Amino acid sequence: MDQKWSSLDLAVQLESLKRDCSIHIKGALSREECISLMDMVENLQLSDAKRSDIEAKVIEQCQVSVFNKDVTRMLEAHFGQGYQIMWSSFDVVGDDAAHSYPSITWHLDGGVTGSLKLFVYLNSVEEHGCNTLMMDQERTNQLRKSGAFPISMKERKEDLTNELINLNLTPEYISYDLKAGDILLFSPLILAHRCIPPRIGKRRFTVCFTIIPAS
Ligand SMILES: O=C(O)CCC(=O)C(=O)O
Ligand SMILES: [Fe+2]
């Protein structure tokens, strides 16, 4: 959908992204488009060898819709020197996430300084309960200094309440009520984050793009 933000809308989004390192962009894709993208994958047989081709098509179509004039203008203004879209993925997180999805523990991503992750939610959080939980920059910094984000996946934790309390910080987190077609854009090297697994019998469908500053 072409949203056509006013200059003020754009300025507000840019300011939030700079200040909070995360923003919620509503209605980037229509509900119909989300359903049609999910159906493209759902209608396949599990054994279908063409699955990766279809996923690539879903990502491609999603990319055309998401990187519309508004989002492109915002990213150009944010990055200044230009940006590149890298490592796109289509992901389905099921209720077995605790055993199959590594991102359910608190962590910081590695990678290129200034990177952003852009998640397109194809179905709503209210439907599956699977959300991306983030911690603000200040708490993240204090926890990082205390060693709460080990490199080893096995040592990472789903719950950092005790660690926060020990540092005299309140257990407060950031999350958005993401609806089908909404975008979560955030700095995964600056804000600690984790994925909350979906409710029993539910699945979350997302397309994710990593955006890095042009070198
Ligand atoms: O799936 C999520 O909600 C978060 C995934 C994550 O940690 C990442 O892509 O860096
Ligand atoms: Fe991550």
What pLDDT digit, counting tens, does each position of 112-153 carry? 999 999 999 999 999 999 999 999 999 999 999 999 998 888
Q: Is residue 2 part of a domain?
A: no
Q: Is residue 134 part of a domain?
A: yes
Where helices occur in 1-122 by DSSP H, the ranges are: 7-20, 31-42, 51-66, 69-79, 97-100
Flag the least confident range among 97-106, 120-129, 187-196: 97-106
pLDDT attached to residue 43: 78
Ligand 1 center from residue 86 Cα (angstroms): 15
CATH of the domain at 17: 2.60.120.620
Q: Is residue 197 part of a domain?
A: yes
Ligand 1 pocket mutation pick from 90, 105, 119 by most atoms within 8 angstroms of CB: 119
Q: Is 204 in the pocket of ligand 1 (CB under 6 A)?
A: no
Q: How many domains does the chain have?
A: 1
Q: Is residue 1 part of a domain?
A: no
Q: Is residue 118 part of a domain?
A: yes
Ligand 2 center from residue 4 Cα (angstroms): 30
Flag the least confident range among 6-10, 54-58, 173-177: 6-10
The residue range of the domain holding 184 is 7-213
State which H helix or E strand residue 126 sits in.
helix 125-128
Q: Is residue 40 part of a domain?
A: yes
